[in-house]
């Protein structure tokens, strides 16, 4: 089964993807993680996107589509979880083409709904927790970058809700509950 986790920054996509990896042996494809890894290892592409990411803007479609293409080539017997991809209609179209090319199908798109105030609070707390644990906080986990990240989400990513609804694939889950409650709701949505 291949699924997309869709939702604004801080909705819990990464956390829920991790749970699906542990429970179902799926492979998580997080373009954000891939881009941060490229930044950390100092590749040319990583250096190019660092500023864009720190501001909370989206990197180009070409870059992230290329990253996903590389990963799809590896295959996954447990299926893929697309986490933070696609984020634009062009990326959604490209994903459709790539899945077809690799003989795969998309089974469901799970939208995690959380309101803005909670999202900002979660992200700012995530940064505080990282610092308290002696880790570096993400450069974009600030209230300022969050304003841009949310704007990018509403302008460029939220149209995907209609796109996948029209394809009959959209499942909407309340992302406000505990991690465990959201996990259970996702499991139900995927069975339905
Ligand atoms: P995330 O970890 O998913 O919150 O992504 C962190 C940042 O990486 C985003 O704010 C963007 O700058 C960039 N990014 C991640 N995924 C994408 C994508 N699919 N399209 C464009 N930019 C992305």
- Report the nearest atom of ligand 1 relative to the CA of 83: 3
Q: Is 138 a catalytic site residue? A: yes
pLDDT per residue as tens, the chain (192 positions):
999 999 999 999 999 999 999 999 999 999 999 999 999 999 999 999 999 999 999 999 999 999 999 999 998 889 999 999 999 999 999 999 999 999 999 999 999 999 999 999 999 999 999 999 999 999 999 999 999 999 999 999 999 999 999 999 999 999 999 999 999 999 999 997
Residue 168 has what pLDDT?
Answer: 97
Residue 136 has what pLDDT?
Answer: 92
Helix or strand (DSSP H, E) at 21 = helix 13-24
DSSP per position, 157-173: ITHHHHHHHHTT-EEEE
Expressed in angstroms and rounded, the spacing between residue 184 Cα and the centre of ligand 1 is: 26
CA-based nearest residue to 123, from 29, 41, 8, 17: 8
* DSSP letter, residue 57: P
The Cα 82–Cα 1 span in angstroms is: 11
Residues with CB under 6 Å of ligand 1 are: 9, 31-32, 35, 52-53, 56-59, 64, 84-85, 87, 91, 140, 149
Whole-model pTM: value is 0.97
């Amino acid at each position: 089964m291949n699924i997309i986790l869709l939702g604004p920054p801080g909705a819990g996509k990464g956390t829920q993807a991790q749970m699906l990896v542990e429970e179902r042996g799926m492979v998580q494809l997080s373009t954000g993680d891939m881009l941060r890894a490229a930044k950390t290892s100092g590749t040319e592409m990583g250096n190019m996107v660092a500023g864009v990411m720190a501001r909370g803007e989206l990197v180009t479609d070409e870059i992230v589509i290329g990253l996903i293409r590389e990963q799809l080539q590896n295959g996954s017997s447990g299926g893929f979880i697309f986490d933070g991809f696609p984020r634009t209609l062009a990326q959604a179209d490209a994903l459709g083409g790539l899945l077809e090319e690799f003989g795969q199908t998309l089974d469901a798109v799970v939208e995690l709904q959380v309101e803005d105030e909670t999202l900002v609070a979660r992200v700012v707390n995530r940064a505080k927790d990282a610092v308290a644990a002696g880790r570096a906080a993400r450069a974009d986990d600030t209230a300022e970058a969050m304003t841009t990240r949310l704007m990018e989400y509403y302008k460029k990513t939220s149209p995907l809700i209609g796109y996948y609804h029209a394809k009959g694939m959209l499942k909407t889950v309340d992302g406000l509950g505990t991690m465990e409650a959201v996990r259970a709701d996702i499991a139900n949505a995927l069975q339905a």
